[in-house]
Amino acid sequence: MRTILITGATDGLGKELARRLAAAGDRVIVHGRDPERVRRARERAGGLTEGILADLSELRQVERMASEVLDRFDRLDVLVNNAGVGGGRPFSGRQESADGIELRFAVNYLAGYHLTRRLIPLLVASAPSRVVNVASAGQQAIDFADPMLTEGYGRQRAYSQSKLAQIMFTFDLAEELAGTGVTVNALHPATFMNTSMVREAMVPPISSVGQGAEAVLRLVDELDGVTGRYFDQRRESRADVQAYDLEARKRLRHLSDDLVRRALS
């Protein structure tokens, strides 16, 4: 039986993934930030599930969650970094995390960066294992002169930078873990699924969570040995050009390690 951790499994795509994987006989670790929402997601999933709590907008909680996973579970076959904050309501302003980091960068990217890094020993010990990063086709190059978007903030820009950062991390980590039996891939699950983040942004949905779940499950269940790729739904695709810029990836790594170190010190 595989053990699969899904972040943001209390709503939308993550909740649907938890349901499908639990129904298929996997042990699913349902992550959320609210105990009642985790309880409800587990109830809906049925099967064998466990719950874990952390608000991903605070790196100390991410750190504690990682330690808890390492304490409670003796293996981890798949980590799905799915939790995310969307574009938000039209005309909403810039937001920061508890650590003073631009909110979408913090939740969509940096939390998954730190969680994954902390869980590498368990993933390697459980190999063959997988990391699946739920990114997006909405990508925009990171402005390293102002990565926290203190000037010229746009909610869509913030979202798109965070999603590209996830893909850059995917490519880096796949290289780092080559030969360990841990694969790392990213994808755009589906366009404008009918989920809370899309409804909040007042965008008319054009896909179902089922369509997104099928694209993610392909990376969870199939494509053995495939690593370091970005998929647009089921099709391998090219990400924004910055994702292939080794210097930009190095800058992102340094920025991330620095932000994590400062938040946890």
Ligand X SMILES: NC(=O)c1ccc[n+]([C@@H]2O[C@H](COP(=O)([O-])OP(=O)(O)OC[C@H]3O[C@@H](n4cnc5c(N)ncnc54)[C@H](OP(=O)(O)O)[C@@H]3O)[C@@H](O)[C@H]2O)c1
Looking at the annotation, which residues are catalytic? 159
The DSSP element (H or E) to which 166 belongs, if any, is: helix 155-176
Q: Between 126 and 139, whose beta carbon lies closer to ligand X?
A: 139
Give the C-alpha separation, 172 to 237, whole Å: 17
Under the criterion CB under 6 A, does residue 107 sit at the interface with ligand X? Answer: yes
Under the criterion CB under 6 A, does residue 84 sit at the interface with ligand X? Answer: yes
- DSSP β-ladder status, 3-6 and 27-32: parallel
Residue of 3, 5, 6, 11 interacting with ligand X (CB under 6 A): 11
Least CB distance to ligand X at residue 265 (A): 21
Least CB distance to ligand X at residue 13 (A): 3
Nearest 5°: phi and psi at 63? Answer: -60, -45
The SS3 of residue 110 is helix
**The dihedral sign for the CA sequence 171, 172, 176, 180:** negative
Least CB distance to ligand X at residue 195 (A): 3
Under the criterion CB under 6 A, does residue 170 sit at the interface with ligand X? Answer: no
- The answer to whether the bond into 189 is cis (omega within 30° of 0) is no
Stretch that binds ligand X, among 18-26, 122-130, 182-190, 227-235 (CB under 6 A): 182-190
Q: What residues between 201 and 260 interact with ligand X by CB under 6 A?
A: none
Give the C-alpha separation, 202 to 196, whole Å: 10
Least CB distance to ligand X at residue 126 (A): 23
Cα–Cα separations (whole angstroms), residue 252 to 112, 120, 232, 242: 14, 19, 23, 11
Give the C-alpha separation, 129 to 76, whole Å: 7
Under the criterion CB under 6 A, does residue 193 sit at the interface with ligand X? Answer: yes
Q: Between 13 and 182, whose beta carbon lies closer to ligand X?
A: 13
Stretch that binds ligand X, among 27-35, 123-131, 177-185, 240-248 (CB under 6 A): 27-35
Binding stretches for ligand X (CB under 6 A): 8, 10-14, 32-34, 37, 55-57, 82-86, 107, 134, 136, 188-193, 195-198
